[in-house]
Amino acid sequence: MGWLRSAFQDELDGVTNTLVDLSNLVTGAIEKATHALLTANLDEAQEVIDADDKVDLMQHDLDARIIDIIARQQPVASDLRALVTALRMAADLERMGDMAHHVAKIARLRHPQGAIPSELLLTIEEMGKVAATISAKTGEVISSRDIDKAVELEKDDDEMDRLHRKLFQVLLSDDWAHGIETAIDVTLIGRYYERYADHAVSVARRVYFQVTGKFLSDF
């Protein structure tokens, strides 16, 4: 029966590897979307928009694989927990891809003008960097199942929340002189980055649960 367990473990490893690949894709997407937004680069924005289909397809294929594994292997205990958790992680990663896609669509919509006022360029650049850092760490957490690093991501997300508040301080200032349309764009962009980071943290929490059987919020 050892070879059966070995084959099953190979399938589990394949699921993990696909999750890491998804994480890498959405990390690259938010990096490219941020650069497109900051530089009004239409080609880069379109690349992110087009590439989102690949993320969606990978997630759908992974879901089908996981359901097939569950049906064939009828796993229990930690194996079942790992597969069910992987389904939820895949959904979070797909949503991260959607957030990058939304950022890129605003960059495309406002081209050839930039969507971001000059006084907010640095803040948006920082949000993009934090998002990419959190996403890259998420991929490492999925691969290594390092629960200490999973906990760290909660602190990284605090920095995104700080930047989001900073963005709104400028938006709500009496000095705002860029009109309603730009204010809406900036509001949406800030929300997309915040949600991107939230989904990454959700993935890290799911890894913690997968490894320990406990919810991170319990600590």
**Which one-letter amino acid corresponds to residue 184?**
I
Residue whose tokens read 């390092």: 146
Average pLDDT value for the chain: 93
**Residue-level length of the chain:** 219
Query: For the segment 64-116, what is each residue's pLDDT rounded down to a tens digit?
Result: 999 999 999 898 888 999 999 999 999 999 999 999 999 999 999 999 999 99
Complete domains list, the chain, with CATH:
2-218 (1.20.58.220)
Q: Are 37 and 104 in contact (CB under 8 A)?
A: yes
Enter the pTM of the model. Answer: 0.94
Q: Percent of the chain at pLDDT above 90?
A: 85
Say how far apart CA 142 and CA 96 lie, in whole Å: 15
Q: Is the pLDDT reported for residue 219 higher than 50?
A: no
Query: For the segment 22-57, what is each residue's pLDDT rounded down to a tens digit?
Result: 999 999 999 999 999 999 999 999 999 999 999 999
